[in-house]
Every structure is written in C-alpha cells, then in structure tokens.
Amino acid sequence: MTQYLDGYDYKSIHKKVREIIFNPKRLKKSAIDKYMNYYETKCAGSRQTIEDAKSCIPGGVQHNLANNYPWALDGVKAEGAYIYDIDGNRYIDFLQAGGPTILGNNYPPVRDAVIDALHEIGNLTGLYGDFEKQLAMKIKEHYPSVDLFRMLASGSEACMIAIRLARAYTGKNNMIKVKGCYHGFTDQLIYEIRSIGTGKTAAVGVPDECLEYISGVMPNDIEDLERQFAENEKNGGTALFITEPLGQDSGALPLTKEYQQRVRELCDQYGAVLIYDEVVTAFRIGMGGIQELYDIRPDLTVFGKVIAGGYPGAGGVGGKAEIMSQLTAGLTLGSSKKVMVGGTITANPVSCVAGYTALCELERTDAHNKLKTAADKFTRQLADLADKYEIPSMIFNQESILHIDLNAFQHVGSFIDEFSPEEIAERTAAAMHLMHEYSMAMCAEGIIVAGGNKTYINLQTIEVLDDALDAYERVFSQYE
Ligand code: PMP
C-alpha cells in the first residue's frame, strides 16, 4: 500500500494519523548516536555561539524551530537553495524561514530592486510613496475579493486588525475559529493554536477575559459549525469566522472545499465576516491563494510572508471596501468611527518594493507551475521511500507545501474522545521527541526542515531535489 496521500483528501489523512499514533517508528539507537556525534563534531561552533548568546537573548535563540534540537544552529548565510552555518556546513533549505522566500534565498532580482530603492528613496519617508500603490494594485489583480488593501508589519498584526475590523463592522463580538489553526500570537487569537485540544494552554500571560468571545470548532465538522453559529445567536451573534483556509498548520489537516462552502453560506446567513488567513497560502498555493483554488470569496483576507518578498515587514489585510474603509488613515480624535491602526515602519519602501518585485518575478518565471510539478513528483518519490523502508507516514503536498509526517505529534489532540488529557499530553510529548530526532537526522544529512513535519520547496531547491531525495533515503533507511 502506498504511503502517498492526496493533499486535499482530509479523510484519508485523518485516518492515517491513527496508524502513526498507534504504531510510530523511530530511528535506530545507532543512528541517533551517529547524528548526535555529527552535532558534537561538526556543529561545535554553533553550540558555542548559541551558549554565548544566552547571556543576552532568552535561551539564546529567537525562532521556534524544530532544528533547535539538540542545539540551535548559527546560520551565517542563506543563498539560493542553501543555508550555511558557522562551522562551514551547507544545508538544503527546506525551512525557508517559514515560507516567505518562495523564489529562493537572497534572490538577486528582489535584492537588486531593494538596493535600488534604498539608493533612490531611502529606507523610510513616513509619507505616502507610490511603491505602496504598486503592491496594493498587484494584490488586487490576483484577489478579486480585495477592493482595498492595507499593509502591516506582520501576519500576527494583520490578523489582529482583521478581527477588529470585523467587530467594528458588525457591531458584534463573538468569533469562531477552526481548532488547531494558527493566527499569530496576539492575545485574543492564542486559543486552540497549532493542535486540536490545546485550548488555553498557549495563553500564558493572557487574562481569561481576552478569550471570552472566541470559540473553536472541529475541522470539517459541519454540524459543529452550525451548532456554534446557532449557539452564538443566543449571545449577541457572530462577528467573524477566521480560518487558515488550507487547514491547521498550513494544511497538515486540510479543510475541504465542501466545508468552506458551508462556512461561506453560514457567514452570509448569520451576518458574520469571513476572514481567510492566507499568510502562508497567498502567492504560494498559486497567485490567487486558496480562495482562487476553491473559488470562494472571503470578506477579508490576511496576507503575510510572500507579500514582502522575504523582507521585513510582511503583513497586510485586504477585502471589501465597506469593511476596509474603516481603516482610512489620518489624525482623528474622539467620536471617530475609525478602526485604529498604526505602525511606524509599516508600508516602507523596502517591504513594498521587495513584495512587488517578488510578485512580478513569480509571474515572470511561471514559478507556481514549476513548483507544483516538482513538488508532486518529489512527494511521490518520498512516499515510495517510506514504503520501501516500511515507515508508517503521512506524505502529501499542497503545491509547494510538503507534509512529511512520521510521528503526527500535532494530531494527537484530534483523539480527544479516546484519550484522557494526561494521555494526550504524554503521547504528544513522545511524538514530539521523535520529530526532533527526525529533524536532527535530516540536518545531519544536509537538509533543514521546517516545523519537523511541514517543509517548503522554492524555485531554487527544485534544482537540488535529487540530492534531497538521497538524504531522505539515508535517514529513512535507519528507521527500526
Ligand atoms: N497566520 C498564519 C497562518 C501563519 O502561518 C503565521 C506565521 N507562521 C501567522 C499568521 C503570523 O504571522 P507572523 O509570524 O508574520 O506574525
């Protein structure tokens, strides 16, 4: 039986989770020892600099990565398909800083445009610049749901403003999200993040009151969705529904088109604003994101990552004019009905020029077709490897987002009806440890993966996928 799965087939993926959770495989002890030894001997420089950094940075690291085990790497250069560490090791970059560098690391046309902008415009003006319009128009061109667009500094910030817009527009407070989806780390959106059943566990330092109006529904469960909308009617109605339209953690547990269609109908029926958080998927799942693929128009779309071409700050919100026009800039006081938004470095020349140039380059290079062809082939080859070495796995892709999951650590919470909370915590921790070992092994074999299970390919890594496949085989062949 092949381990290959269709990346949009929720049922098969969900079924496979069970097999992995109940029958996980792990790397042989001899392999773990070998990879630990790699770190000891080949990554000693990283170990030292991270230790030193602990004197001024909490834990010495500022990114939440799988590759922080057994210790983080000191990356000194990112170029094309590769990342280099301080010890002179070269890695194929499947992390891609979490997704924004879809054209490759330090992609010359984007870098050159940014350097030109710095020479011609400077780093910041604090005034309007036409580069803002260029980017906004390019986004509108590909997103018919976007009448107006406002740049922000990050995806988290953009999600925060999107929910504020929706509440101001509807005059209601309640919001519904799909359990497990990530919408940044702001107070109100920190409920049920990353994995089903996490509830308030990530809300350390967040008062319960902040989470008063948010409820989570199970992915693809239309009854649960209908129940929550009806329930909210007894309590002021629903202001908004927000989701990662591809599903939890960039499609690790995909949401079906049928489900999304019902969400759209219910939002219309109950007068709720539909927000698609396309921070990851916009300009990655094709130019038009999931909304183009599923032919569904949200009222608001949250953008991030690719829209600043891999440069800071990557965030923005776009949508219907009647909702977006609440953001009109300019000074006001007192009785204004405006939705407050600010940002010292928002919509600066670097973000806008890099973003605009990157989007034009995606068009010019026909990147998405090339990425899809390469990713579809590569994922099937990986699944064949998992078959060959008899490793239970979920291997699938949605265009250039690849899920290569051998431990299902994010999915244990889906079995909330079968396991006690203690058992869920225990199994999740055990699966997470296996994921860390896997990431360590991949790293020692020359590949940096993202989040352990999810991984991205970009226009430059297409050229090195054969090498990557060899590295995966070296790791897979050492499973028990
Ligand atoms: N939404 C989604 C779907 C994301 O994946 C992320 C970041 N990974 C965010 C929001 C937050 O974006 P940022 O990290 O730019 O704050």
- Probe target for ligand 1 pocket from 101, 156, 193, 351, with the most ligand atoms within 8 Å of CB: 156
Evaluate: CB of 184 within 6 angstroms of ligand 1.
yes
Question: Could you tell me if the CB of 132 is within 6 A of ligand 1?
Answer: no
pLDDT of residue 1: 59
pLDDT band (50, 70, 90) for residue 400: very high
**Summary mean pLDDT of the chain:** 94
What proportions of the chain, in percent to the nearest 5, are helix, strand and coil?
45, 15, 35
Ligand 1 neighbourhood includes 299 CB (under 6 angstroms): no
pLDDT band with cut points at 50, 70 and 90 for residue 22: confident
Position 65 scores a pLDDT of: 76
Considering only CA atoms, which residue is closest to atom 14 of ligand 1? 155
CB 317 within 8 A of CB 278: no
The answer to whether the CB of 284 is under 6 A from ligand 1 is no
Mean pLDDT of 175-185: 97
Name the residue of 64, 181, 182, 284 to mutate for ligand 1: max ligand atoms within 8 A of Cβ. 182
Which atom of ligand 1 is nearest to 99's Cα? Answer: 8
| Residue 363: pLDDT over 90 | yes
- Would the pLDDT of 451 be above 80? no
- H or E stretch covering 321: helix 321-324
> Comparing 332 with 124, which gets the higher pLDDT?
124
Q: What kind of fold does domain 126-347 have according to CATH?
A: Aspartate Aminotransferase; domain 2 (3.40.640)
* Ligand 1 in reach of 315 Cβ (< 6 A): yes
**Nearest 5°: phi and psi at 402?**
-110, 140
Q: Is 285 in the pocket of ligand 1 (CB under 6 A)?
A: no
The answer, yes or no, to whether any atom of ligand 1 lies below 6 A from the CB of 245, is no
Q: And the tokens for 478? A: 């050492």
pLDDT at 238 over 70: yes
> 3-state class of 98 per DSSP?
helix
Read off the pLDDT of each residue in 96-116 and give the average, rounded to a whole number.
97
Q: CA 87: distance to chain centroid? A: 29
> What is the pLDDT at residue 471?
98
Res 336 pLDDT > 80? no
Ligand 1 atom nearest residue 315's Cα: 15
User: Rounded CA gap, 81 and 459, in Å?
Assistant: 8
Ligand 1 atom nearest the C-alpha of 184 is 11
Which DSSP symbol is given to 339?
A: P
Q: Name the CA dihedral angle for 215, 216, 220, 221, rounded to a multiple of 10 degrees.
A: -60
How far does the centroid of ligand 1 lie from the alpha carbon of residue 182, in Å?
7
Q: How far is CA 334 from CA 97, 167, 337, in A?
A: 42, 19, 9
CATH number of 4-106+366-476: 3.90.1150.10
Section 209-213 average pLDDT: 97
Ligand 1 pocket check for 254: Cβ under 6 Å: no
Q: CA-CA distance, 197 to 274, in Å (whole number)?
A: 23
Chain mean position to CA 406? 19
Closest ligand 1 atom number to CA of residue 159: 10
Q: Find out whether 215 and 176 touch, Cβ atoms under 8 Å.
A: yes
Predicted confidence at residue 194, as pLDDT, reads 85
What one-letter code names the amino acid at 55? Answer: S
Averaged pLDDT, 248-271: 96
- Whether 299 and 275 have beta carbons less than 8 Å apart is answered as yes
Q: How far is ligand 1, taken at its centre, from the CA of residue 27, in Å?
A: 31
Q: What is the pLDDT of residue 334?
A: 63
Known catalytic residues are 182, 277, 305
Ligand 1 contact via 313 beta carbon (within 6 Å): no
pLDDT over 90 (residue 73) = yes
- Give the Å distance between the CA of 440 and the centre of ligand 1: 24
CA of residue 250 to ligand 1 center, whole Å: 10
Q: How many CB atoms lie within 10 A of CB 191?
A: 23
Q: List Cα–Cα distances, 132 to 55, 100, 313, 338, 356, in angstroms.
A: 40, 19, 13, 21, 9
DSSP 175: E
Q: Is a pLDDT exceeding 80 seen at residue 337? A: no
Determine if ligand 1 sits within 6 Å of the CB of residue 154: yes
Bigger pLDDT: 269 vs 425: 269
Going from the Cα of 428 to the center of ligand 1, the distance in angstroms, rounded, reads 23
pLDDT of residue 116: 98
- Least confident piece of the model among 10-24, 75-89, 265-279: 10-24
Residue 177 pairs in a beta bridge with 216, 242
Q: What is the pLDDT of residue 158?
A: 98
Closest Cα to residue 321, out of 96, 102, 146, 164? 146
The arithmetic mean of pLDDT across residues 114-136, rounded, is 97
Quote the pLDDT of residue 333: 65
Cα(71)–Cα(73) distance, rounded to whole angstroms?
Answer: 7
- For helices 44-53 and 29-42, give the axis angle rounded to 10 degrees: 70
Listed residue (203, 204, 207, 205) closest to 216, CA to CA? 203
CA proximity to 86, closest of 74, 101, 100, 99: 74
**Is it true that the peptide bond before 70 is cis, omega within 30 degrees of 0?**
yes
Please tell me the distance between residue 251's alpha carbon and the centre of ligand 1 in angstroms. Answer: 13
- Does pLDDT of 168 surpass 80? yes
Domain edges within the chain: 4-106+366-476, 126-347
Q: pLDDT exceeding 90 applies to what percent of the chain?
A: 86
Distance CA 215, CA 217 (A): 7
Q: Which two three-digit tokens encode residue 177?
A: 């999200």
For 253-270, give the secondary structure using H, E and C.
EECCHHHHHHHHHHHHHH
Is the alpha carbon torsion for 285, 288, 292, 298 positive or negative?
positive
CA distance 285 to 371: 10
